[in-house]
């Protein structure tokens, strides 16, 4: 994963025009049920965030792209759960990880709409909560509002974390 994040960050540094589309795709994959289990992209998003301040990449388009990608991933996951309710648990890779869906269900039932916000920031819940929200028919508009707001917040946090860490590293490097 670290090599992937490094290679992607190097590509974005050399081809800055691709920063926003790449972040959109990474955030989409990170938030999409099933795919997020195979493609943990948060490290690459933090690495790209580290490039923002030091390479002159504009924060705003990359942030919006990350938020849109994450929200679309959750939207598709919600739709998939809503559409294929009873079949989801038998599909790979959830069939290999049978505990994920019941945890997502319990979380959605206990927390309701705030579960979308909370789940966005915890890796194992990130993809299962929207899927469970669709399966258990959480109201569409409250889900989507929480989805888009939390996606923008999540994207901003990851990118800013990378940016702040890069700036701190630069300050420390110059001090010594």
Where are the domains positioned within the chain? 2-175
User: Following DSSP, what letter does each residue of 132-157 receive, concatenated?
Assistant: HHHHTT--HHHHHHHHHHHHHHHHHH
Phi-psi region of 137 (alpha: psi -120 to 50; beta: other; left: phi over 0): left
Q: Per residue of the chain (176 residues), what is the pLDDT tens digit?
A: 678 777 888 888 889 999 999 999 999 999 988 777 677 788 889 989 999 878 889 999 999 999 999 999 999 999 999 999 878 878 877 788 778 778 778 889 999 999 999 999 987 678 789 999 999 899 999 999 999 999 999 999 999 999 999 889 888 998 88
Q: How many CA atoms lie within 13 A of 70 on its CB side?
A: 32
pLDDT at 37: 65
Report, in angstroms and rounded to the nearest whole number, the Rg of the chain calculated over CA atoms: 17
Rounded to whole angstroms, the Cα distance separating 172 from 167 reads: 9
């Amino acid at each position: 994963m670290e090599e992937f994040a490094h290679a992607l960050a190097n590509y974005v540094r050399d081809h800055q025009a691709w920063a926003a589309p790449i972040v959109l795709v990474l955030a989409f994959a990170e938030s999409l049920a099933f795919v997020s289990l195979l493609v943990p992209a948060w490290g690459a998003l933090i690495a790209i965030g580290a490039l923002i301040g030091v390479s002159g990449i504009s924060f705003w388009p990359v942030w919006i792209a990350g938020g849109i990608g994450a929200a679309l991933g959750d939207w598709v996951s919600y739709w998939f759960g809503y559409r294929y309710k009873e079949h989801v648990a038998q599909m790979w890779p959830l069939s290999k990880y049978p505990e994920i869906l019941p945890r997502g269900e319990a979380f959605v039932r206990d927390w309701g709409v705030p579960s979308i916000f909370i789940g966005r920031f915890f890796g194992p819940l990130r993809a299962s909560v929207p899927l469970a929200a669709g399966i258990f028919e959480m109201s569409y508009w409250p889900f989507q509002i929480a989805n888009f707001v939390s996606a923008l917040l999540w994207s901003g946090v990851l990118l800013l974390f990378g940016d702040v860490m890069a700036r701190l590293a630069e300050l420390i490097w110059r001090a010594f």
